[in-house]
Amino acid sequence: MEQRVVEFLKDRESEMVEVLKGLVEIESPSHDKEAVDQVGAQVQKLYKKYVGGSIEVFPNKDFGDHFRCEFGDGDEQILILAHMDTVWPKGTLEELPFRIDGDKLYGPGSFDMKGGIVQGLFALHALKSLNVPMKTKVVMLFTSDEEIGSESSRDLIEAEAKKSKFVLVLESAAASTKGKLKTSRKGVGMFTIKVKGKAAHSGIEPEKGISAIEELAHQTLYLHGLTDFEKGTTLNIGLIKGGSASNVVAAEAEAELDLRVKNTAEFQRVIPLIEGLTPSMEGVTIEVTGGINRPVMEKTPEISKMFETAKELAKEYLGFDLEEQASGGGSDGSFASQFAPTLDGLGPVGDGAHASNEHLLISKMPVRSALVALLIEKLANE
């Protein structure tokens, strides 16, 4: 069975490229509902053509509709996560068109993660076409807002993860030609810090002013000082604004803080420090809003076991050493992993997520697709 799955998919490499071209050429920035819905319609068409089974759509007012596809039967389910949105605004295709250069396939969203969608669909296509027996059903959940924090899909992802034995995430692999899986992800916190001081003319009566910018500068140094690289905890104020003119003592200033941690204990240690910021200057007020944006995906023994299973399959049937990596970024796998063992980064092999050199390796498409198919079969019949 395994060899047949591998052969089946290797024979479909050029078809996979063709299908991916179709998806890349429909641009789908997260904030553009109509655009993401267009990709959604195309994915549903592909699902019907290559897999078949029921599709349930979850209408979404502000962002693209999410939908859930069910394949096979069984009381238990394996969940596959994929997102259809990209970080690229409309019009990007004109500057960065879909193109192939040797083994590299370029295009906005190819690597993150339309290539993963195609590989996932073809994995199920192979299992179905070859009538591979499965004791567990497979649910593929396609969502529309991963790149902007999954606000509208989070409940759905968590509800499906709760019902699942295992979760596979078709996000791109860690950037390199090795295609390393992601077995842990840092937790992400996002905060806004607003400082209010008092305006005054900087020449005539500067002593009457209280500079919100000066206060924010103190707070920035303090917050950055909480960074502990050894623990994997980082704090970064990446955006700052404030003041009204150079000759006015700034009445207001605001900063955006990004917090990353390797474990939940660090969230518990650092968040109270952020929320409890105390002014260093008299007369200012500080308001902190925000919180955890993605929980930590910790590498549990169950995740290790899943990874070992994938590694064995890669070695035995695909002839390569599968490796793993910890990721500093969050994904929908971060949410799912709170409820079921989750393996992430099963999507394309390539580089340049969110960058102009975004690409995937064509020759790895059937290989990754086969890895997903074999993994599903193994986990479904465990």
Residues in contact with Zn ion by the rule CB under 5 A: 112-113, 171
214 or 351, CB closer to Zn ion? 351
171 or 324, CB closer to Zn ion? 171
**Is the torsion defined by CA of 302, 136, 310, 316 positive or negative?**
positive
175 or 288, CB closer to Zn ion? 175
313 or 343, CB closer to Zn ion? 343
CB of 284 to Zn ion, least distance (A): 39
CB of 116 to Zn ion, least distance (A): 8
CB of 32 to Zn ion, least distance (A): 17
Please give the single-letter amino acid code of residue 21: K
CA distance 315 to 324: 14
DSSP state of 364: G
CB of 157 to Zn ion, least distance (A): 13
**Is the torsion defined by CA of 314, 319, 325, 330 positive or negative?**
negative
CB of 345 to Zn ion, least distance (A): 10
> Could you write out the DSSP letters of every residue in 286-334?
EEEEEEEEE--B---HHHHHHHHHHHHHIIIII-S---EEEESS--HHH
CB of 96 to Zn ion, least distance (A): 17
Which single residue is written with the structure tokens 């102009």? 356
134 or 372, CB closer to Zn ion? 372
209 or 330, CB closer to Zn ion? 330
The phi and psi torsions of 228 (rounded to 5 degrees) equal -135, 95
Closest chain position to Zn ion (CB): 112
Cβ within 8 Å of residue 16, ≥6 positions away: 118, 119, 122, 365, 366, 369
